[in-house]
Amino acid sequence: MANVVVVGSQWGDEGKGKIVDWLSERADVVVRFQGGHNAGHTLVIDGVTYKLSLLPSGIVRKNRLSIIGNGVVLDPWALLAEIETVRKQNVEVSPRNLMVAESAPLILPLHRELDRTREKIAGAGKIGTTGRGIGPAYEDKVARRAIRLGDLADPGFLGARVDSLLVHHNALLRGLGLPEVERDPLLQELLDVAPKVLPYAGTVWRRLDELRRAGKRILYEGAQGTMLDVDHGTYPFVTSSNTVAAQAAVGSGQGPGAIDYVLGITKAYTTRVGGGPFPAELTDEVGRTLGERGREFGTVTGRPRRCGWFDAVLVRQAIRINGIHGIALTKLDVLDGMKELKVCVGYRLDGETLDYLPASVTRQSRVEPLYETLEGWGASTRGARSWADLPASAVKYIRRIEELIGAPVALLSTSPEREDTILVHDPFVD
């Protein structure tokens, strides 16, 4: 049986939450391996909607172990708040079914403030972060001054870590003309939260190794999407972590051999939140229609998403970077009733035709999409549970996408409900 990594193949918001929940019924363990509480997943189960930001989607399933890996930056106060929220929805959360890597770096209040201040100062040049401190926390991690979850267990050592952290941050705050952070109140906040979060701390890499050797099926749940990857995305309009499939191993303490199948979650059109290039963006009535039908608002921020036609160039690039074996195509029903559909099949830049998105942000912003027009369909695809339920033109659209991106559709989602899923290939069957 295979261990599966789920990643977004676009700019995030592809519908990973539902697919991970659907797959979690076949898995024993669900692992978050990067990002923080800046990425939201919406699950609809038996008519109940769950909105998760930090907890793995498997938390809503009984008898599943959920793990937050070392590649995640952890806001302990946000974690506790989210646990309390889902408990009110009758979801059990305890150290029996949730483990957090003791080496996970913490997001502190000063990270949130710095994040928001930078965005405000940037003005029109802002990246469009969620303001939740993700980027500054990752900066401290790579600069080796982060406070990690396990540090909370040693009050004496914790004080020294706070001192080291504030040397940098207070110098930065002075440079920005902002009030400095006081040591003792910050230290007390950490001491107060420690007994609440430390029961969840554990040696994740070892636990996962034991589970894998015991033949347990592990589902690695990515957040955001490939085009937001700090190395491979539309830099600098990206997140602060690696969102690609290879990070599943690094962000959980496993070797690359632990990954058997990579599933790329792919929306039947394209969306993104925040600033940055978007070659296939539609700012007309069609774009607004896609946004309204697809209810394209961020789970975490509530911000409206920018919408555009399906970009086969971007998805093909994501498939190669991630080593994607198959895709889960979502939100096909949003395209119902449209007379014609367009798919971006290439870019034109300075008279040259490109079959990839260049790395330079200035070149990215100047590419012009080259479209292929396909026939739409009048019948509804919403709730379809077999290929026979789909209009012929919808099937043609799917087959053409497969040809253009160079990967097959493994699953097809036709509504937010988990049962409205057509299984073509089970990723857990290697």
CB-based contact 226:243 (threshold 8 Å): yes
The enclosing H or E element of 48 equals strand 48-52
- Cα–Cα distance between 43 and 337 in angstroms, integer? 26
Residue reference for tokens 């940037």: 122
- Cα–Cα distance between 21 and 318 in angstroms, integer? 22
Q: Please list the active-site residues.
A: 13, 41
The enclosing H or E element of 134 equals helix 134-142
Helix-then-strand count for the chain, H and E? 12, 18
Distances (CA, A) of 253 to 34, 96, 246, 288: 12, 20, 11, 42
**Exposure of 74 by Cβ count < 10 A (0-12 exposed, 13-18 middle, 19+ buried)?**
buried
Which two structure tokens, joined as six digits, stand for 329? Answer: 């195509």
Omega before 236 cis (within 30°)? yes
